[in-house]
Every structure is written in structure tokens, then in C-alpha cells.
Amino acid sequence: MLVHSRAARWGVWTVFLLLFLPLFALPLLVIVAASLSRSWSGVLPSGPTGGHYTSAVHGDALTALTTSLITAVAASLLALAAGTWAALAASGAGRRTRRVLDALFMLPVAVPSVVVGLAVLVAFSKPPMLLNGTPSIVIVAHTVLVTAFAYQSVSAALARLDPAYEQAAAGLGARPGYVLWRVTLPLLLPSLTAAAGLCFALSMGELSATMMLYPPDWLPLPVRIFSATDRGSLFTGSAVAVVLMGTTLLVLLAVSRIRTRATFR
């Protein structure tokens, strides 16, 4: 306890709330409120309506939702596979290999997402790998962007893992593949699901790289939100944004439930 007088404590808390609520809670509330109203000129929104949601889960916007879901699921599964493999290889290899892997796999975090998008666009717009104009180019860009986070969380979990289990299994004669499948991966399951959730959330909200390379028939939700607000339809955009936040939260919640079960098995 840093502040001992009661009055001073209340003062500190008041300042905290005065900073915290307007900066962090208000923006999310405002988006939800805007998505439910017809117009907003003045202090409070006016004309309550559910109409934006009707259009947010029909037609183009619904296509955008499924597009985003497919992209995010595909990208996070691919990233999880690549990141886990790399993390396992790094933990089994010597110090120097691990350093190299660390540096290489964390590099996409430092490179601006827009540049990742540009690079993927430049590389896959010509044979032999002509992906430009297909949904796969979006999935490739998202996978590149989120793999770093999968790698990071899985290697953090590997570093905390007690090697005694693996050593015991190996000592009892299990082959390396069997140890990996029956001991290491089950022990890693909680962090694998956490990493999957993180990758999913990042991919759902990815805008920068997507803006560089999305094909006209593969518009994820963030692009749809941008085109709506760019046209001036802020309220439709807000409704789509709420759908985006809701979907992300639902999936994260489901993932954390799986995670708890995996932990207490």
C-alpha cells in the first residue's frame, strides 16, 4: 500500500477512473451505441434502431464475416503448425541455431504489416507462384504476420516445460516421435490453444497487409468496415465492427474454455 490516508486514496482512484474510463472504456461503448442508432449529432445518439445489424449479417457483410472467419481459421492453423514446429526445433537444437530461429521468426513483428503485404504482393504476382487475385494470397500474408506470435508463445511454454516427463518417457524406451505425440504436445496443449486464440484475434482484425493485396471477391471484415466509414456510413461501419468484436470475443472465450479443460485433464 503506497498511499495511507483514506482521502488521498480516494483522490488517486478518482483520477484513475477519470483517465481510464474516457480513454479505454468509452471508445468501445461509443461504437456499440453508434451501431444501435440512426444519427449522432450532439451529446447522445438518437433514433434507436437494429437496422444496421440486419444489414450487418446479410448479403455483403455476411460474406465478409465468413471470409474473415475462413481466413483467420486457416491462417491461425497454418501459423500454429509452422510456429510450433519451429519452436520445437529451436528447443531441441543448439544455442546458435536457436538464436538464428528466434531472430528469423520474430522478424515479421518488426517489419511493418504494410510492407509484409507489399512483399507478398510483389512475390506472388508472377509465376511460378501466381497467387495474386486469389483468396490464398490474403491467407499467406496473414499467416506470415501471425506466425511470429505462435512461435513466441509456444517457445515460452517450451522453456517452462519440465523436461523430466520427456526424459522419463525416453528412458522407458519411447521413440522421439512417440514422446512428442504422447508427452510433449499434450503438455503443450494449453499454450497451443492460447496461441491459436491470439493468432485468430490478430488475423480477424488485420487491416494493413490486407489493404495491400485483397482480391475484389475476398473482402474481410476490417476492409468492409473501412469501405463503409470511407463512404461516410459510420453507423453501418460500427455495426460491422461490433460483429467483428463479438465474433472475436466468442472465439477467444471458446478457446479459453478448451484451454481450462486441457489444463485440468
Partner 1 sequence: MAEVVRRPAMARKTGGRSVSGRLWALPPIAALGVFFLHPLALVVQQSFTPDEGGTSAEPYTELFAAEVFHEALTTTVWIALASTAGCLALGLSLALVIAFVPFPGGKAVSKFIDVFLSFPSFLITLALLFLYGTTGVANGLWTGATGAATGPFDFLTTPWGVVLAEITYFTPFVMRPLLAAFSQLDTAQLDVASSLGARPLRIVRRVILPEALPALAAGGSLVLVMCLNEFGIVLFTGAKGVTTLPMLVYTKAILESDYPSACAVAVVNVLLSVGLYGLYRVVSRRAGA
The footprint of partner 1 on residues 161-190 (CB under 8 A) is 161, 163
Alpha helices in the chain (DSSP H): 6-20, 26-35, 51-56, 59-92, 95-110, 113-123, 135-160, 163-171, 176-179, 185-204, 208-213, 221-231, 234-263
- The size of the interface with partner 1 (CB under 8 A), counted in residues, is 101
Name residues whose C-beta falls within 8 Å of residue 36's C-beta, 6 or more positions apart in sequence: 45, 48, 49, 50, 52
| Contacts with 52 (C-beta within 8 Å, 6 or more apart), sequence order | 35, 36, 235, 236, 238, 239
Please, what is the minimum distance in Å from the beta carbon of residue 77 to partner 1?
A: 14
User: Considering only residues 77, 88, 187, 262, which one is a binding residue for partner 1 as defined by CB under 8 A?
Assistant: 88
Q: Work out how close the CB of 190 gets to partner 1 at its nearest, in angstroms, rounded to a whole number.
A: 15
Cell representation of residue 58: 446479410
Identify which range of 52-60, 67-75, 146-154, 185-193 contacts partner 1 by CB under 8 A.
146-154
> Which residues, including other chains, have CB under 8 Å from residue 178's CB and lie 6 or more apart?
169
In whole angstroms, how close is the CB of 207 to partner 1 at the nearest point? 4
Select 249 or 254, whichever has its Cβ closest to partner 1: 249
Residue 53 lies near partner 1 (rule: CB under 8 A): no
In angstroms, what is the minimal distance from the CB of 41 to partner 1?
Answer: 4
Minimum distance of partner 1 from residue 213's CB (angstroms): 9
The interface with partner 1 within residues 229-258 (CB under 8 A) comprises 229-230, 234, 237-238, 241, 244-245, 248-249, 252
User: For cell 517450451, what's the residue?
Assistant: 158
